[in-house]
Amino acid sequence: MSEFDRNVVRAQEYLKRFRGKTVSHLIGGKHESGNGATFETLSPVDNSVLAKVARGTRAEIDRAAEAGKRAFASWRKTSGEKRRDIMHQIADAIEARAEEIALVECMDTGQPIRYMSKAALRGAENFRFYADRAPEAADGLSLPTGTHLNYTIREPIGPVGVITPWNTPFMLSTWKIAPALAAGCTVVHKPAEWSPLTASLLAEIALEAGLPAGVLNVVHGFGEDAGRALTEHPDIKAIGFVGETTTGSAIMAQGSQTLKRVHFELGGKNPVIVFDDADLERALDAVLFMIYSLNGERCTSSSRALVHASIYKEFSAKAAERVKKIRVGHPLDPGTEIGPLIHPRHVEKVLSYVDAARSAGATVAAGGIRSSLGDNYVEPTLYTGAHNSMKIAQEEIFGPVLTMIPFADEQEALSIANDVRYGLTAYIWTRDVGRAHRVAQSVEAGMVWVNSENVRHLPTPFGGVKNSGIGRDGGDYSFDFYMETKNIAIALGDHKISRLGV
């Protein structure tokens, strides 16, 4: 049996538990389907129904927030060492079910197994990383004066809401939930409605691994009802959100009445700048990988390649040749490099840019069409001869679509790079050290990689500027979001107190 066939058989076994049943919420440690309303999650492979999912509303969010509030009273008092041990047990359990998580994720998102096989393991790594930091999460500073000892401590902010998108849901959820739990917060998670299955697996795994009931709650449902209710709930003290920029704006407005603290990881239109002195072979590999991996449904994708005019013709020709050879296929086939896109509505959006590109004068150097494999399969697309003012250079397409733009010199490269409303990541390819630093410091982005693809190191800050986000994840930065810093001042003696009314 080929590995592909084996994956298909195994995936069907894992999906059996969802078929014909309603995927439930997990509230206060209990699986429940709430009001009985459901929605369907489709497999991008053929748009068949994978499962019915409970459709939560304000009532379920209210119960989940109540459960989170009750559990917070004891979870915040649970020692950091105990929280660490439980989180390591969760990581062990994730690893033990890594194959199940990976295959279910592929079938629910359309992401190729070559990337998803590691998604569960990366999720486990996120749990381990923050487990080890749980004992020091409350640490603060000593700020003494002659008369007082000032010291700070950090306290968990309270029950928090986590709202996640559909592109790589398992990995992204752990990235938000693990630091919240390590900080001592409890969580109500509202996963994306287009790929909800692995969120249920995570909550179930955490509960079975020993996380007390109510510490992690999951409410499925749509953004406009369950999501909205979560952001408006008075007992939810903060919202960690990953998704579109426009949704971030809506959440900020919805949370304003309850003065919600927000952390936003939003969209991107990230530039990769290739100078003519770069290692062009490696640069080409990285340019292609960073946009065509994960179906291009990746916030950090290099969706705009800015290429030095002197090498533009050759570089774009080589890129087109490679793009045409990228293998589109079934997500469970280990040979597949691009799988089906998440949903017919998303396919429509991605393909809507082809006419816009042509009529603006760009060249469709590869792709621009549906693949013959099925409705959600799109051929990897490369637009060349583009200008930065075109829609294909300004808007986040969030698919396997690269826009290639020439530039004359360093100054022009920078001004094109910065001429978008987003600022998540930037990638720079050059052998000139001075130029690498100059451009890295002037480009408007939260994260910059030089001569590198996106290699994540968990202690480093992750986040964007401009319309790409607010706040940073990673290392201790996450604790700044999930915790409040309290200053305590102790008088060391009889400092002078002015006497009034004597």
Residue 202 interacting with ligand NAD (CB under 6 A): no
Residue 163 interacting with ligand NAD (CB under 6 A): yes
Q: What does the chain come to in residues?
A: 502
Q: Among residues 83, 190, 263, 472, which is the contact residue for ligand NAD, using CB under 6 A?
A: 190
The DSSP secondary structure of 54-111, one letter per residue, reads E---HHHHHHHHHHHHHHHHHHTTS-HHHHHHHHHHHHHHHHHTHHHHHHHHHHHH--
- Which H or E element spans position 150? strand 148-156
Q: Which is nearer to ligand NAD, 68 or 469 (CB)?
A: 469
Identify residues 240-269 at the interface with ligand NAD (CB under 6 A).
242-244, 247, 250-251, 254, 265-268
d(Cα 417, Cα 117) in Å, to the nearest integer?
33
Beta strands 142-144 and 49-54, pairing class: unpaired
Q: Among residues 66, 125, 193, 395, which is the contact residue for ligand NAD, using CB under 6 A?
A: 193
Q: Among residues 315, 398, 407, 429, which is the contact residue for ligand NAD, using CB under 6 A?
A: 398
Classified as helix, coil or strand, 142 is strand
In the complex, the smallest distance separating the C-beta of residue 15 from ligand NAD, rounded to whole angstroms, is 22
In the complex, the smallest distance separating the C-beta of residue 465 from ligand NAD, rounded to whole angstroms, is 11
Binding span for ligand NAD by CB under 6 A among 79-87, 143-151, 163-171, 371-379: 163-171
Q: Which is nearer to ligand NAD, 100 or 265 (CB)?
A: 265
In the complex, the smallest distance separating the C-beta of residue 223 from ligand NAD, rounded to whole angstroms, is 2
Backbone angles phi, psi at 371, to 5 degrees: -80, 160
Q: Among residues 156, 165, 184, 331, which is the contact residue for ligand NAD, using CB under 6 A?
A: 165
In the complex, the smallest distance separating the C-beta of residue 301 from ligand NAD, rounded to whole angstroms, is 8
CB atoms closer than 10 angstroms to residue 310: 12
Alpha helix (H) residue ranges in 366-409: 391-394
Enter the DSSP assignment of 473: B
In the complex, the smallest distance separating the C-beta of residue 242 from ligand NAD, rounded to whole angstroms, is 5
Here the tokens at position 83 are 């929280």
Backbone angles phi, psi at 100, to 5 degrees: -60, -50
Residue 223 interacting with ligand NAD (CB under 6 A): yes
When CB distances to ligand NAD are compared, the closest residue is 223
Q: Which is nearer to ligand NAD, 342 or 416 (CB)?
A: 342
Q: Among residues 8, 93, 124, 192, which is the contact residue for ligand NAD, using CB under 6 A?
A: 192
d(Cα 492, Cα 502) in Å, to the nearest integer?
25
Q: Which is nearer to ligand NAD, 381 or 430 (CB)?
A: 381
Q: Among residues 123, 179, 184, 227, which is the contact residue for ligand NAD, using CB under 6 A?
A: 227
Active site residue 106: no
- Are 67 and 27 within 8 A, CB to CB? yes
Residue 424 interacting with ligand NAD (CB under 6 A): yes
Q: Which is nearer to ligand NAD, 266 or 390 (CB)?
A: 266
d(Cα 234, Cα 257) in Å, to the nearest integer?
9
In the complex, the smallest distance separating the C-beta of residue 228 from ligand NAD, rounded to whole angstroms, is 4
Enter the DSSP assignment of 163: E
- The CA-CA-CA angle for residues 117, 187, 228, to 5°, reads 100
Q: Tell the burial category of 279 from Cβ atoms under 10 Å away from its Cβ (0-12, 13-18, 19+).
A: middle
Residue 228 interacting with ligand NAD (CB under 6 A): yes
Strand partners, 27: 30
Binding span for ligand NAD by CB under 6 A among 181-189, 226-234, 281-289, 349-357: 226-234
**Which of the following is catalytic: 265, 297, 337, 444?**
265
Q: How many residues of this chain interact with ligand NAD, rule: CB under 6 A?
A: 32
Here the tokens at position 433 are 């050290």
Helix, strand, coil: what percent of the chain each, to 5? 40, 20, 35
Identify residues 467-486 at the interface with ligand NAD (CB under 6 A).
469
**Which of the following is catalytic: 66, 100, 193, 299?**
299
Q: Which is nearer to ligand NAD, 106 or 365 (CB)?
A: 106
Active site residue 299: yes
Q: Rg (Cα) of the chain, in Å, rounded?
A: 24
In the complex, the smallest distance separating the C-beta of residue 164 from ligand NAD, rounded to whole angstroms, is 6
d(Cα 404, Cα 314) in Å, to the nearest integer?
12
Hey, which residues are catalytic here? Answer: 265, 299
Under the rule (CB under 6 A), what is the footprint of ligand NAD?
163-167, 172, 190, 192-193, 222-224, 227-228, 231, 242-244, 247, 250-251, 254, 265-268, 299, 396, 398, 424, 464, 469
